[in-house]
Amino acid sequence: MNKKRSDNFDKFANQKKGSAVKEEYRQEKKKAKIESRAAGEAARQRKKDKERGIVVEPVGNNKRGPYKPRETVSAPPTYPMTLRAKEYPAKAPSTPSKTYAAKKVRTPASMDRADIKRTASIGKVTANTETPHEQMPLNKFIAHSGISGRREAAELVKSGHVTVNGDTILEPGYKVQYKDVVRLKGKVLQLQVTPVYILLNKPKDYICTASDPEGRKTVLDIIKNATTQRMFPVGRLDRNTTGVLILTNDGDLAQKLTHPSYEIKKIYEVTLDKPVTKADLEAIAAGMELEDGFIAADAVSYLSNTAKNVVGIEIHSGRNRIVRRIFEHLGYDVRHLDRVMFANLTKKNVDRGKWRFLSEKEVRLLKFLNKSFTRKSAQ
């Protein structure tokens, strides 16, 4: 009984540790790689000899080992082999088990057939195969061309202004290839290769459009010397509203920053024609019914104890002129509206009418901003 216990303990004590097992596995893997490399070297040399008309046969019963020429060959060839291949010659088991016999063993003939098949298929794959990453929805292609955001691009497609290889497409989700010719109103679109991100402290009397038929000043006039890329504004402000505005040619980011599901935070400083009552502040926080639906501020308060006509309001809705309409609904006239924060970006160190490029860290934070909101809504 004691002897049995002693044997069991010795077996446990002498058991290989985790590091030893891992090292043994690494050595086996390394040896298998060396053997495979030696077999490949031999196959390549055999193929070269075959092209020269030299017939070769395996040494003994080792079908995967080095090869030597038959006695009928006048000039035996030399076989360049790596040092590792010499040190670790490939060996097959002397008495194959049932498991080993069932496996498909590579032979010289099968390796030659595989080489021929692989060589013949290279051109076919390159010419005809279409991988998934080479396709994208048509509205995404237009957005990446720097024309507009995805939603605006979808409207352009539905209106019949977009053609693909000469055919008018009305479905925004239509899959296009990089090689396809996409035209918008006859103009060929090219994908933007360099994303650009700009923060602008917008002044008054500038409109947030790419162009204006009435000839008014646009925010693109301010940044015209910043880049040659086609830019468009994100989180638009009306003509008389000032403050933080993002301009980019990244259609994906533009869609995210304007989509309601991400609940992107915006903070405004509102100057009104008269002091705001405490009851009205509470009504704004509780919410109210406007002509286009219910709206409630995330937070609202006075900015100072003396000037009751200057209010700060935090809101995530992107509805048109929503802040002005909230106060107009309560009987106030908005004298000045300034956006001091958009998507956690402020106008700090950026004077009115000036701009700066966003840093890599700021862009990275924007792309992952409020990502949890979409996951919650999907559940």
pLDDT at 229 over 60: yes
- List the structure tokens of 258: 């304007």
Q: Tell me the range of 16-20, 199-203, 263-267 where mean pLDDT is highest.
A: 199-203
- 180 is annotated as an active-site residue: no
Cβ proximity of 91 and 81 under 8 Å: no
Which option is the CATH number for 135-188: 3.30.43.10, 3.30.2270.10, 3.40.1310.30, 3.10.290.10? 3.10.290.10
Average pLDDT over every residue of 1-20: 54
pLDDT at 47 over 90: no
User: C-alpha angle with apex 352: 305 to 196, nearest 5 degrees?
Assistant: 125
Burial (CB count within 10 angstroms: exposed 0-12, middle 13-18, buried 19+), residue 14: exposed
pTM, entire model: 0.53
pLDDT at 255 over 90: no
Q: 273 by DSSP, 3-state: which?
A: coil
So what's the pLDDT on residue 120? 45
So what's the pLDDT on residue 195? 86
Mean pLDDT is lowest, of 176-180, 191-195, 321-325, 366-370, for 191-195
Cβ proximity of 244 and 201 under 8 Å: yes
* Options 238, 273, 292, 333, the catalytic residue: 238
Domain ranges of the chain: 16-90+108-118, 135-188, 197-378
Mean pLDDT is lowest, of 125-134, 196-205, 284-293, for 125-134
Residue found by looking up tokens 């082999």 in the block: 81
pLDDT at 96 over 50: no
- Dump pLDDT digits (tens) for 123-171: 333 333 333 346 889 988 888 777 777 888 899 999 999 999 999 999 9
Cβ proximity of 226 and 246 under 8 Å: no
DSSP 108-153: HHHHHHHHHHHHHHHHHHHHH---GGGEEEHHHHHHHTTS--HHHH
So what's the pLDDT on residue 73? 44
What DSSP element (H or E) covers 341? strand 334-342
For all residues of the chain together, what is the average pLDDT?
77
pLDDT at 375 over 60: no
Q: How confident is the model at residue 36 (pLDDT cuts 50, 70, 90)?
A: confident
**Cα–Cα distance between 300 and 282 in angstroms, integer?**
8
- List the structure tokens of 283: 């009504």
Q: In sequence order, what are the residues at sequence separation of 6 or more whose Cβ sits closer than 8 angstroms to the Cβ of residue 253?
A: 195, 197, 234, 363, 366, 367
So what's the pLDDT on residue 17? 57
- List the structure tokens of 72: 């009928």
So what's the pLDDT on residue 268? 96
- Dump pLDDT digits (tens) for 312-321: 999 988 888 8
Counting every residue, how long is the chain? 379
- Which DSSP category does 13 fall into? H
Q: Domain 197-378 in CATH: superfamily?
A: Pseudouridine synthase (3.30.2350.10)
So what's the pLDDT on residue 72? 43
Mean pLDDT is lowest, of 39-48, 245-254, 333-342, 370-379, for 370-379
- Dump pLDDT digits (tens) for 104-116: 555 556 655 654 5
Mean pLDDT is lowest, of 9-23, 227-241, 242-256, for 9-23
- Dump pLDDT digits (tens) for 181-190: 999 998 888 7
